[in-house]
Amino acid sequence: MTKKISILIVDDEESVRDSLFNWFIEDGYHVAVAENANKALSMLESESFDIILADIKMPGMDGLEMLRRIKILKSESIVIVMTAFATVDTAVQALKDGAFDYVTKPFDPDDLSHLIRNASKQITLSEENESLRTKVLTLENVEDLIGESEPMKRVLKDIENVAQSNSSVVITGESGTGKELVAKAIHSNSSRKFFPLVSVHCGALTESLLESELFGHEKGAFTGAMYNRKGRFEMADNGTIFLDEIATISMKMQIDLLRVLETKKFTRVGGNKEISSDFRVICATNRDLKSLVEKGLFREDLFYRLNVVNIFVPPLRERIEDIPLLVDYFIRKYCLSMNKPPLTIDSSALKRLEEFNFPGNVRELENMIERAIVVGNGKKITLKDLPLEKTMITSSVESLDDLEKSHIYMILNKYSWNISRAAKALKVDRVTLYNKISRYGLKPKE
């Protein structure tokens, strides 16, 4: 519903107030009148008006002084000044003081109506912009990071804590856990959110390509370099650069990266001009960087430069209680994108998903649900729509010990580390379960 624009008419001449009042009432505006500036300012303390038509020549406080006070009191109000004694200096002063426009008496009805319509459009546009801004701000949430489990609450809390800082962040976790989503959430909740989030998958590029990708290159720098090209650091100016699979970069790139992080300056490949860029760096890896440092495969100084804050994203098997929420989210997502009516999932199928190990984590679950929606024909996703057995065969878990360890850990978490219930589910006695917990070094997540 369109908002009714309100107008306050301030003029010491009763005939002007009455004529304008009737005029704008007929045009559908909410209208009020005041016979002098003091009365108008008093009204503005208790009521807001979108447009104020103010006469300049009034006894006591004149229209220009009232304009200045209105801009202090209600800066968003649009003020149009009116006078029968127009001069260029007065008009210029009124506009300098923040008047929307300037009209002279006697008024041309069409011109004045047109002016009020223009002012109304500006008000509507400003409100729409504010509404859009509010919507943008609400997009700062982390809606794609689905989960209400304690591990996910910790991740969300970490994001909240680190977002407003400018510190470097390393996000760790197994493949498919959603590390890039965490990076996006940090960026969209930071002061850099209106600037780019630039992502680079370091593991997908050779050293020379990664160098060109990060720093850019000049025309002729190498065969095929036909044009100057900005690098990702340059593109991320004022924003955030996300370096995925950071553990894969070469020792030379580690040195180059450390230098850029410390100086925020670099040169393009084949160039001489030093370029500055103000960016925040967020990295992700599924490997243990500290272990790589100890083995001499990752520079210690770079590790400490990057790992100011560490956020660990838990594997799906450690937050089984989130699976129903994730399943529901992915069903709605893919039904919508495939223009299919909303589906549900059979309880036995959901139970099997909750028992599954998910070596591919959330990404694997998402792929399963997408496939089930593609191949399924009913109103429910059932066991036959889920490639659970096939996925088990292609699992990255190769040894029986690894498989047993993961399965026991999953069951323990499922029953909140109630040993009796977990042992019953595993069909072993409590002593056997205790022995296996000790053997695999399993312990509840803190």
What tens digit of pLDDT does each residue of 349-403 get? 999 899 888 888 999 999 999 988 888 878 899 888 887 754 444 445 556 677 7
The predicted model scores a pTM of 0.58
Q: How many CB atoms lie within 10 A of CB 397?
A: 15
Which range, 50-54, 107-111, 338-342, 416-420, is most confident?
50-54
Spatial separation of the C-alpha atoms in residues 49 and 8, rounded to whole Å: 6
pLDDT at position 1 = 44
Lookup result for tokens 């399965």 = 407
| pLDDT band of 219, cuts 50, 70, 90 | confident
HSE-up of 59 (CA within 13 Å, CB side)?
4
What tens digit of pLDDT does each residue of 335-353 get? 988 888 888 999 999 998 9
Residue 283 φ then ψ, to 5°: -120, 160
Q: Is the peptide bond before 341 cis (omega within 30 degrees of 0)?
A: no
HSE-up of 444 (CA within 13 Å, CB side)?
10
What tens digit of pLDDT does each residue of 5-30 get? 899 999 998 988 898 898 888 888 99
What tens digit of pLDDT does each residue of 63-122 get? 888 888 888 877 778 999 887 766 667 777 777 788 888 888 787 878 888 888 888 888
> Shortest CA distance to 48 belongs to which of 14, 5, 100?
5
